[in-house]
Copies of this chain bind each other. A is one copy, B any other.
Amino acid sequence: MGRLGENRWGKSEVRVSKIHRGDERDEFSDVAVQVLLTGDVGAAHIDGDNSQVLPTDTMRNTVYGLAQEHLTDDLEGFGSVLCEHFLQRDAIESASVSIKENRWARETATGFIGGGSERRTAQVVQDTSGGGSVSAGVDGLVVLKTRGSAFSGFPRDEFTILPELDDRLLATSVTADWVYQPVPADTSATWELVRGLVVDSFFGEWSASVQHQGWLMAETVLERVPEIAEITFHLPNQHHLPFDLTRFGLENEGTVFHPVSEPYGDIGLTVTR
């Protein structure tokens, strides 16, 4: 008895990251794409006839498949390529592609600082017996490097399918907390110093694992800031998974990734003097 009115179908939150390899420096794109189509799909709604319903999984794959060649900083251009691709299909009447690009600030030739969730933190504990502690820290410091990190030589068992990688993209959201003994005279200047050391160490030092990277950052801080007695890092490994394009008859150039929010590698360590 009803009459089909406006309708559309598509895929939302298709997250794609891409490294644009350069001779001297890399560029990095990090986007979320939404594809919405309309077309001659009344029969799909009313009769369950899917012969004109392009699967939303195909839309997702198309985004990755075309990203390798076409995703640049011209987001509108990539949107047009996608629209034109989908409109080639007879039953599609309109296509809408929306792209949201996260902004990463360049820090080095292959290093970027992302997002804006960074916060300076402090904790003071005191008790009536004269005890207590003063700590400072940072959280939400999102860093990513396109080179300079590896993970190989690990043990394998029947559940291990991870390939060995000598050079991989590494991203994490640094949470660090350090204990002052004694409290420095200028806590703001010290905080800026420590943050800078953490950032420089992450981008400047090659690491064999997240654990190794954490150790190197801790060492750098302890060497340079005598007021810090110990430092704790929490370093979630924010995975950017290589997307396999060979399934679509394309060659993998190793530049297109699928960033995932969950699960994440969960690495923590404390380093003391």
A contact residues vs B (CB 8 Å cutoff) = 1-15, 32, 34, 36, 41, 44-58, 60-62, 65, 73-77, 79-80, 82-84, 87, 89, 92-103, 114-128, 132, 134, 136, 139-140, 142, 151-162, 180, 183, 187-188, 207-212, 214-215, 218-219, 222-223, 230, 232, 236-237, 247-249, 261-273
Contact = CB atoms under 8 A, between A and B. Distances in A.
Given A79-B122, A121-B98, A128 B34 contact: no
B263 A9 contact: no
Given A211-B41, A266-B9, A99 B126 contact: no
B102 A12 contact: no
A159 B65 contact: yes
**Mostly helix, strand, loop or mixed at chain A's interface?**
mixed
A75 to B, nearest CB: 4
A83 B123 CA distance: 10
A249 B11 CA distance: 33
29 contacts: A2-B215, A2-B273, A4-B270, A5-B230, A9-B266, A12-B264, A13-B263, A45-B215, A48-B212, A49-B208, A50-B153, A53-B211, A57-B162, A58-B159, A61-B159, A65-B159, A73-B187, A76-B122, A76-B183, A83-B125, A92-B128, A95-B127, A96-B125, A97-B125, A102-B119, A115-B116, A116-B116, A158-B249, A261-B261
Contact of A4 (B8, B34, B60, B215): B215
**How many copies of the polypeptide does the oligomer hold?**
4
Contacts of A120: 75, 100-101, 103
B13 A44 contact: no
Q: A65, A73, A222 — which one has the most chain B CB atoms within 10 A of its CB?
A: A73
Contacts of A273: 1-3
